[in-house]
Amino acid sequence: MSRGKKVAIIGAGNVGATVAYSLAMKGSCHEVVLRDRAPEIAKGKALDMSQAANAARTHTIVSVAEEASDLAGSDVVVITAGSPRKPGMSRDDLLMINADITIQVVADVKKYAPDAVIIMVSNPLDVMTYVALKESGFPRERVLGMAGILDSARMAHFIYEKIGYGAGQIRASVMGGHGDDMVPLPKFSTVAGVPLSDVLDEEQILDVIERTKHGGAEIVGYLKTGSAYYAPAKSTALMVEAILMDTKQIHPCAICFDGEYGYHDVVSGVPVVLGANGAEKIFEVTLSENQKERFAKSVGSVQSMIDVLRDKHYFD
């Protein structure tokens, strides 16, 4: 358990608040600060969570950052701020709105928490991670996007629904962009160590992959007026804890490439070692020709959105 550590969460909506709650319940850090454009709501949630932490007998205090300067001293900054994804809205629709919000928020982080690791959660995830990297000027290992853990968890659950056993023992692997172009990796997916291909036939695996790709949209369809937040928040909290506790655990995270997989200056999700310095190692896994093609399509989708922003002079 890390003591004296501080986590800032910018955006105290469903995802951000649930990240804070998850960290507070485990006592993962000494202090969580919430920053939101609705400070009174953030204050209410912070007070409620601090009381919950006392019920759980953890030492975490949850407070509100009323000024940007209250971000000072943060070890990790989680950014969930942005316009929510609504039914019928693609992640691409959110591009311009959330790029502007991200630039504004990251400018505060750069000024007041220059040594922090940034974890982006806002959509479209991979592009917002790129925007945050460019705006902050931080080294790439300290600007990461949360998507791979979430997508892997969704795939694991859909595998469980197919087979009906092994809950908690299923390890699914996903890489690429967060969205319809993600690249699930059945070859690296197991049930209690047994290869997925020994448990499900090819048609069943393809069905799992399709459902994983649309896992977020399925939840949006049920909720009608919102999107998923329990699984995204827990996935984010896992990243925060790996960084705070310097665990060196391997998780799929979005990061800017510098030659890995043959790509430069574009963000996508790949397995990385998470520690106190952020992404401390990037793994280049062996892909089949089909997976290389799908990964190229996924990277190309992110690149096209970066190009849209570049054409609008976001990165001058």
106 occurs within a structural domain: yes
User: pTM of this prediction?
Assistant: 0.95
Query: What is the Cα–Cα distance from 123 to 95, expressed in whole angstroms?
Result: 8
178 is catalytic: yes
Does 58 map to a domain?
Answer: yes
Q: How far apart are CA 53 and CA 23, in angstroms?
A: 10
Q: What is the pLDDT of residues 217-267, one digit of tens each?
A: 999 999 988 889 999 999 999 999 999 999 999 999 999 999 999 999 999
Can you give the pLDDT at residue 128?
Answer: 95
In a domain, 169, yes or no: no
Taking only the tens place, the pLDDT of each residue in 155-172 is 999 999 999 999 999 999
Does residue 215 register a pLDDT over 80?
yes
Residue 184 lies in a domain: no
Q: Is residue 240 part of a domain?
A: no
CB 113 within 8 A of CB 71: yes
Bridge partners for 7 per DSSP: 32, 76
Phi, psi of 153 (to 5 degrees): -65, -40
Q: What is the mean pLDDT of residues 31-37?
A: 97
* CATH code assigned at 31: 3.40.50.720
Q: Are 240 and 119 in contact (CB under 8 A)?
A: yes
Pairing assessment for the beta strands 194-195 and 190-191 based on DSSP bridges: antiparallel
**Residue 2: per-residue pLDDT:** 40
Find the range with the poorest average confidence among 87-91, 164-168, 291-295.
Answer: 87-91
Domain interval for residue 139: 6-147
Average pLDDT estimate for 114-138: 96
**What is the mean pLDDT of the segment spanning 198-219?**
93
Residue 94 to residues 54, 203, 268: CA-CA distances in angstroms?
38, 33, 18
3-state SS of 235-303? HHHHHHHHHHCCCCEEEEEEEEEECHHHCEEEEEEEEEEEECCEEEEECCCCCCHHHHHHHHHHHHHHH
Has residue 288 been placed in a domain?
no
Catalytic residue among 30, 157, 178, 264: 178
Per the structure, the count of domains in the chain is 1
* 26, 7 Cβ separation under 8 angstroms: no
Mean pLDDT of 266-273: 97
Query: Is position 44 within any domain?
Result: yes
Of 28-37, 105-114, 175-184, least confident by mean pLDDT is 175-184
Q: Is the pLDDT of residue 296 over 90?
A: yes
**In angstroms, how far is the first alpha carbon of the chain from the final one?**
42
Q: Considering the domain boundaries, does residue 109 fall inside one?
A: yes
* Residue 93's pLDDT band (cuts 50, 70, 90): confident
